[in-house]
């Protein structure tokens, strides 16, 4: 585990991460190992994150070393598409049993690797470590090394057991695995001045293919997409690309940055979501390639394609704009793509009434603010009940979110669209933007809404009316009982990671005469997890100072 611990430290030290730069040395060392609040957490583990990041590599066998839960409960459940092999959709697992837990699972792992090679002969095998074998000390690095030597085939250990942290950390540990064992181990057949890598794009619902035709037209070759619709040999020879685009926010920033360091491949962070972002990304690709020696005319050709495609997309969206103008969209996404989707929706004339940025980095939030103005209504963490109330208060016409909150929207009889991993529609590039608008239009104007909102003939009141009454009654009760209202206000959680509420923070500020977020963090642990609440903490300190609470105690 010591090497894994070192790896985790290394990932936490990511200099490319702005959030990290803002932390003190001590905080950085703690890294993103936010201790999640037991009983109040949701989201995948590091193993899940590693699998998400690498499974889109289509022609390799992905072997999960662990009990049945890790693979059996989750295999083949993501929408990454392939243009070739579908071996990546085959679920391989050692399904360790009690005897393996007692005697060690290394033998079973080795035999499993052999069986896969005998039956499926993939170009490589990725072996994923999980919690139980990590605890009993199975050394997957050693088994992979021995197997690779014996069978003369790359066997890649991916050391990312679930309990080391959240999904996001798993993404990065997966990146480390391919940096250590895959990238740079093969040479491409040939190279061109137009070779790029796309990092952090998973080709969900085939989104890469909404973008690729334009790159093809420009003569830009995707040497390797890491990892959507990827082949092992492409990833292995990706170190010969001239430039790279990092797509999924911070998920694989370590891969982009280390490839820049090691192989001199410059990268930019871009998005394929939204017309403006798509055009910017094409421009950046052309700019980096020209800087690295591609003929300058690439830029002109790129501008020509952008002009043509933008005009075409706008022309196709125009008929919908009229129908969607002014419609209120409630955006709830735990994903890192919030800010890209915001841009896309605004282009279609819609108004945003809120967005959740649960998993987004601080920078993402900044971008949302920039796009939506300072009034951005951030919704970080809500119970289903609160969500209904908010849907109602926001008077939203449609809600966009990931699959998990789908049913809250639907039960509130609210039009809903899936924008997360399991979605079936592709929303990338100019094509995708048109598709997104079409889908929103279809959802909004579906005739079922009017029908399902109609109360049954035997009911004098709809349940919504009753819920509204209950909400109103609650509000009235609070208004009538200031003590209770204050209690409720103080109960509200500010720091989700450490479960610190308003009351505890205010008390700490007052008791310790605190004036800085760091001091507050020291006292309450608030803000030392994901860091997402630091802005709120700062505002609370300011407010407390304005109230005079701090100066008074300072004076004492």
Least CB distance to other proteins at residue 272 (A) = 25
Directed axis angle between helix 46-54 and helix 167-181, to 10°? 50
Residue 180's CB is within 10 A of a number of other CB atoms, namely: 15
Closest to other proteins by CB, 35 or 192: 35
Least CB distance to other proteins at residue 149 (A) = 19
Residue 400: both structure tokens together: 């966009």
Least CB distance to other proteins at residue 546 (A) = 30
Please check whether residue 443 is in contact with residue 416, taking contact to mean a CB–CB distance below 8 angstroms: yes
Least CB distance to other proteins at residue 72 (A) = 4
Closest to other proteins by CB, 127 or 298: 127
Which three-class secondary structure string do you get for 130-188? CHHHHHHCCCHHHHHHHHHHHHCCCEEEECCCHHHCEHHHHHHHHHHHHHHHCCCCCCC
Closest to other proteins by CB, 467 or 485: 467
What is the DSSP secondary structure assignment for residue 378, as one 8-state letter?
A: B
Least CB distance to other proteins at residue 217 (A) = 33
d(CA 13, CA 184): 23
Is 42 exposed, middle or buried, given 0-12, 13-18 or 19+ CB atoms closer than 10 A? exposed
Closest to other proteins by CB, 13 or 459: 459
Please check whether residue 265 is in contact with residue 292, taking contact to mean a CB–CB distance below 8 angstroms: no
DSSP secondary structure letters along 408-446: HHHHTT--EEE-STT-SS---HHHHHHHHHHHHHHHHT-
Which strands make up the sheet holding 416-418, listed edge to edge? Answer: 351-356, 328-332, 398-401, 416-418
Closest to other proteins by CB, 68 or 311: 68
Least CB distance to other proteins at residue 51 (A) = 10
Instruction: Please tell me the number of Cα atoms within 13 Å of 354 on its side-chain side.
Output: 22
Closest to other proteins by CB, 15 or 72: 72
Least CB distance to other proteins at residue 176 (A) = 17
To which residue do tokens 């819920």 refer? 467
Closest to other proteins by CB, 38 or 548: 38
Closest to other proteins by CB, 161 or 274: 161
């Amino acid at each position: 585990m010591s090497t894994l611990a070192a790896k985790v430290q290394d990932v936490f030290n990511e200099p490319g991460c702005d959030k990290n730069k803002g932390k003190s040395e001590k905080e950085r060392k703690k890294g993103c190992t936010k201790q999640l609040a037991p009983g109040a957490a949701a989201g995948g583990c590091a193993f899940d994150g590693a699998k998400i990041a690498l499974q889109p590599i289509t022609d390799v066998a992905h072997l999960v070393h662990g009990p049945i839960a890790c693979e059996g409960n989750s295999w083949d459940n993501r929408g990454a598409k392939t243009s070739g092999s579908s071996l990546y959709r085959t679920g391989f697992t050692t399904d360790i049993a009690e005897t393996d837990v007692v005697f060690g699972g290394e033998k079973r792992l080795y035999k499993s690797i052999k069986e896969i090679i005998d039956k499926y002969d993939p170009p490589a095998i990725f072996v994923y470590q999980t919690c139980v074998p990590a605890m009993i000390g199975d050394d997957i690095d050693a088994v992979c090394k021995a197997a690779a030597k014996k069978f003369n085939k790359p066997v890649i250990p991916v050391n990312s057991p679930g309990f080391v942290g959240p999904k996001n950390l798993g993404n990065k540990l997966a990146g480390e695995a391919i940096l250590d064992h895959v990238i740079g181990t093969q040479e491409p057949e040939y190279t061109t001045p137009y070779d790029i890598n796309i990092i952090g794009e998973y080709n969900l619902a085939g989104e890469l293919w909404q973008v690729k035709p334009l790159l093809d037209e420009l003569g830009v070759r995707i040497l390797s997409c890491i990892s959507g619709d990827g082949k092992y040999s492409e990833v292995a020879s990706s170190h010969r690309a001239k430039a790279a685009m990092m797509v999924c926010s911070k998920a694989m920033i370590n891969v982009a940055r280390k490839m820049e360091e090691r192989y001199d491949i410059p990268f930019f962070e871009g998005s394929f979501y939204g017309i403006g972002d798509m055009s910017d990304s094409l421009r950046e690709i052309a700019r980096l390639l020209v800087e690295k020696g591609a003929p300058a005319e690439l830029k002109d050709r790129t501008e020509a394609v952008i002009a043509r495609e933008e005009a075409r997309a706008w022309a196709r969206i125009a008929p919908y704009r009229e129908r969607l103008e002014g419609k209120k969209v409630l955006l709830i996404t735990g994903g890192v793509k919030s800010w890209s989707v915001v841009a896309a929706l605004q282009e279609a004339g819609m108004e945003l009434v809120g967005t959740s940025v649960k998993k987004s980095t601080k920078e993402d939030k900044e971008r949302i603010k920039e796009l939506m103005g300072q009034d951005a209504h951030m919704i970080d963490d809500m119970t289903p009940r609160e969500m209904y109330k908010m849907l109602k208060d926001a008077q939203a016409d449609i809600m966009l979110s990931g699959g998990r909150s789908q049913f809250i929207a639907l039960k509130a009889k609210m039009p809903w669209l899936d924008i997360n991993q399991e979605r079936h529609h592709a929303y990338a590039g100019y094509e995708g933007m048109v598709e997104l608008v079409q889908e929103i239009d279809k959802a909004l104007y579906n005739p079922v809404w009017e029908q399902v909102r109609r109360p049954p003939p035997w009911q004098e009141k709809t349940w919504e009316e009753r819920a509204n009454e209950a909400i109103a009654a609650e509000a009235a009760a609070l208004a009538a009982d200031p003590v209770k209202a204050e209690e409720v206000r103080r109960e509200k959680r500010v720091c989700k990671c450490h479960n610190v509420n308003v009351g505890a923070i205010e008390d700490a500020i007052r008791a310790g005469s605190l004036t800085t977020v760091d001091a507050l963090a020291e006292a309450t642990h608030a803000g030392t997890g994901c860091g997402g609440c630091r802005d709120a903490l700062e505002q609370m300190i300011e407010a407390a100072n304005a109230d005079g609470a701090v100066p008074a105690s300072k004076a004492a």
